[in-house]
Amino acid sequence: MSGIISQNVGRTSGLVKAAAAGGGAWTLIETITASSDSTIEFDSGIDSTYPIYLFKIINLHVSSNNTKPQVNFRDGSTAYDATKTTTHYSCSHNEADNQTWLQYETGGDLAESTGDQAFFYQNVSNVDDAASSGELFLFSPSSTTFVKHFIGRLAVVANPVASGQGYIGGYCNTTAAIDGVQFKMNSGNIDAGTFKMYGLGDS
């Protein structure tokens, strides 16, 4: 690139020129706002345009107490049921300051399973001011050669009331393209929350 505008790329004032296909900057693709929804689905816009997709979960408020935020992936059909092997661990510290943990969640991981992956296996709270926020990276979803990795973390208000964080990592064990991502609760609805999908270009 050349010229005054392109030379200004990376600056914090004035005009910059957005490079083709996002030019490496995170490009906001879609925002979905939850309102008592059973599922939040990004069912388009996941393709070879970007090699990395990032999902931001902001203030996810659940309708039912003691429930688990979950994610799943679509690999070509209409169902969100890609086969996955994952790890899941979590940590927590309660408001009463008498309980902490860091542990592997043996009940919350998956081994070649098509089921939903819990973000926080130990359950979240539905008290009025409770909400969860976090992120999920999805790598090379359109690759038809390799499995598809994902890495995520979600900060939650746990039940009983505590600060908690769930960490997930794993792969969709398929060489089919992943073309959809679904968020849901294991029970009840996603009462409120904002879900954003970004793409990160590499050229």
- Which residues sit at the interface with other proteins, rule CB under 8 A? 5, 8-28, 51-52, 85-89, 102-104, 106, 109, 111-112, 137, 139-140, 143, 145-147, 149-151, 167-171, 173, 175, 200-203
Give the CA angle between residues 30, 182, 62 to the nearest 5°: 95
Helix (H, G, I), strand (E, B) or coil at 152: strand
Supply the minimum distance, in Å, between the C-beta of residue 53 and other proteins: 12
| For other proteins, the closer CB: 63 or 173 | 173
Closest by CA position to 120, among listed 154, 92, 147: 154
What is the CA angle 155-140-148, rounded to 5?
A: 70
Amino acid of residue 138 = L
Nearest-approach distance from CB 166 to other proteins, in angstroms: 11
Q: Looking at beta carbons only, is 27 or 66 nearer to other proteins? A: 27
From the CB of 8, what's the least distance to other proteins, in Å?
A: 8
| Helical (H) or strand (E) element with 57 | strand 52-62
Provide the minimum distance between the beta carbon of 150 and other proteins in the complex, in angstroms, as a whole number.
8
Nearer Cβ to other proteins, position 102 or 127? 102
Q: Which residues, at least 6 apart from 116, have a Cβ–Cβ distance to it below 8 Å?
A: 70, 71, 72, 80, 184, 186
Q: Which is nearer to other proteins, 5 or 79 (CB)?
A: 5
